[in-house]
Structure 1
Amino acid sequence: MNRTRIGFIGAGGIAQRHLGVLEQFDDVDLVAFADVDFDRALAAAARFGARAFGSHDELLSDESLDAVYICIPPFAHGAAERAVIAKGLPFFVEKPISLDLKFAEELAAKIDAAGLITGVGYHWRYLDTVEEARRQLEQRPAQLVSGYWLDQTPPPQWWWHQDQSGGQMVEQTTHIIDLARYLVGDVTQVFAMAGHRDRADFPGLDVATVSTASLRFASGAIGNIGSTCLLNWGHRVGLHLFAEGLALELTDHDIMIDVGAGRPVRHAEGDPVWREDRDFIDAVRGAPSCIRCSYAEALKTHRIALAINQSAQTGQPIDLAAR
């Protein structure tokens, strides 16, 4: 059987996570890498006997590919996606998909018109514990949601700047927003507040250092999601869900189900990124798609994250149902 030829645009940290998975697949060839840091592209190419390029345009013009992974910082999205779509190639892109909502909506329309296979890196959807939570909530839907991303400040300096990362809600807590959508349904209204504290160890950091958002869901459920990057360690990342006679807590490692008889915790099994990548590759190879988060689906989550930022800036609730 022919092997699927994959190119990477961006060869940084999150790309390495996918490469560690894809190199396990015996039906994939990693053939080309492009990065603005050419040494990084060279290092990845040497690892896989591939070719290195200094730009996505060079990669796309010189290589025959079956699909592309786009693993670039939030501020860099735009030209790469347009070029890949123009080539008619399936692509997997890491979140957040853009800092510009109109651009993301433009891309979604082009993807739909071209009928392209896409995947977006909301890998929490692939946790077996999340599937267990979905089963638990089928008969007892969540009525109250409480999410949190309480963590340290990531080291890349682009993350420290609002115009490059979008801030913590958009760049990190988006995973929790997406998980809430996946388990509870569409969000119709948000109201957010944010605060900032100057930090000597992070010169120039201008993103909110604390933020919180109240959410109203189409189902009638309500919730709150809070974030901070003030810590020097990863304290807690997860989602609490409360229903009639049921309390659930999900993290990226485990699930706690409380029905009034103790608080048993089960650890997640398997690698959700492996499942995410396998589903994308299978769809590219012609199998019925089992992709859990396409570009169009990710856009729904991204609208919420950007609306949270807008509400925090304006002090006004944002009605998503009207958008």
Structure 2
Amino acid sequence: MRIGVIGIGVIGTRHMSNLIAHEDVSIVAVCGNQEEKTAEIAREYGAEPYTDYKLLFERSRLDAVFICTPPGLRKGPIAEAAARGVACFIEKPPAKSMEEAEAISAIIEESGIIHSVGFMYRYTGAASKAKELIAAEGGVVPIVRSVHVCGAGLVEATTPRWLYNKTLSGGPLFDQAIHLIDAARYITGQGARRATGLHAFGGNVQRPKSEEYTVEENFVVNLAYESGMVHTHTHSWGIAESQAKIQLLGRDYRLLVDLTRLGSRLHGTYKGEQISLHYADENMYAEEAAVFLQAVRTGEQAFIRSSYADAAQSLALVIKANESVDSGRSVTL
């Protein structure tokens, strides 16, 4: 299987290290925006280097491509791949705006290519088991609470500086919170089919806004769904000790999905029984790539847990959450 990779930063190279573990996979072309770095990575993997993704597609015969560009630079590579019938693994968030997401959805639907969006938490053991248990209860969770905190906004952090520009990055909601909101949607299934409203608040305590730091560092997002399910998400870039967790509260269960590190955990009670599971050997990034490769080999999109159309629904929620913060108003969906 001949693979191309467009975007060779942290995420792109992480995927490459997982891809080469598959004996039937060859990384044949890579594309980056820095010629010297791109050539160096290409030599490491025995690939051809490009700084123009159009040339990559014109000169390379590919079975699949991993698109790991910033979110506003996805449509062009996806369109080039779709025109050639090349399967696409697309990093999250799936687009920069809903207008772009709708255009990409149309391209993918018309071409019928195998595709996947990189919401890796959907491929963890804890999320999968929680989804199974919730489905057995009808899929509607009364209360969902999630939290994702880290030190990305602290002065000593090594965070890429462009992420601190809300216009470029969308801030913590767009970059990280989308993962927890998406994972909660995945786990609860039918209960999260249609969101009806949200209200979000943002603030800065440890690090005030400045010319180089235009994001809110702390958020609370409240979501309401047509099923009656309500979800509260708390997010911060100002907490040194990282955690990423989803709590599911129902009449007969209290489940905590801990996604803080590689090797997810599921704790709590379910119908009077204690649950304590640790998926110590999992690698969610390797798993999502492996499932995508399986779908490409077989031509079966059904293997994929995060289609573009579904991913766009999670995107819409964080876009509206940012709008709510900026306007100071609740949003009806």
Fold similarity call, TM over 0.5: yes
Instruction: Report the more deviating stretch, 12-21 or 189-198.
Output: 189-198
2: CA distance, partners of 1:73 / 1:275: 22
Q: Which runs of 4+ in 1 moved over 6 A?
A: 200-203, 260-263
C-alpha separation in 2, matches of 1:229 and 1:202: 15
CA distance in 1: counterparts of 2:39 and 2:270, whole angstroms:
53
Asked whether the 8 Å contact 1:191–1:316 carries over to 2, the reply is yes
Contact 1:75/1:163, CA 8 A, preserved across alignment? no
Q: Which residue of 2 aligns with 1:242?
A: 249
Two-structure CA RMSD over aligned residues (Å) = 2.1
- Residue type matched to 2:298 in 1? G
Which residue of the partner structure matches residue 32 of structure 1? Answer: 29
Report the secondary structure of 1:97's partner residue.
coil
In the alignment, structure 1 residue 225 sits paired with structure 2 residue 233? yes
1:27-81 Cα distance to aligned partner (Å, 9 max, x none): 1110000000222322221111111011211211111111110111234333323
Cα 1:233–1:198 change in 2 (3 A) is closer
Is the CA contact 2:199–2:221 (under 8 Å) kept in the aligned structure 1?
yes
**Change over 3 Å in CA distance of 1:41–1:201 after alignment to 2:** farther
**TM superposition shift of 1:263:** 6.3
* Structure 2 contact 164–171 (Cα < 8 Å) conserved: yes
Q: Gaps spanning 5+ residues in structure 1: where?
A: none
Matches within 5 A, 1:110-121: 110-121=107-118
Secondary structure of 2:44's counterpart equals helix
SS of the residue 2:298 aligns to: coil
| Structure 1 Cα separation of the partners of residues 130 and 297 of structure 2 | 30
User: Are the structure 2 counterparts of residues 201 and 222 from structure 1 closer, same or farther at C-alpha, using a change threshold of 3 Å?
Assistant: closer
Question: Given the two structures, how large is their TM-score scaled by the length of structure 1?
Answer: 0.91
Match of 2:163 in 1: 159
Give yes or no for the alignment of 1:96 onto 2:93: yes
1:267 aligns with 2:266: no
Letter in 2 for 1:173: A
Contact 2:150 2:240 (8 Å CA) reproduced? yes
Residue 233 of structure 2 aligns to a residue in which SS?
strand
TM-score (norm 2): 0.89
Distance 1:248 1:73 in 2: 34
- Which residue does 2:269 correspond to in 1? 258
Distance in 2 of aligned mates of 1:133 and 1:198: 35
Would you say how many aligned residue pairs link Structure 1 and Structure 2?
Answer: 316
* Contact 1:198–1:205 (8 Å) recurs in 2: no
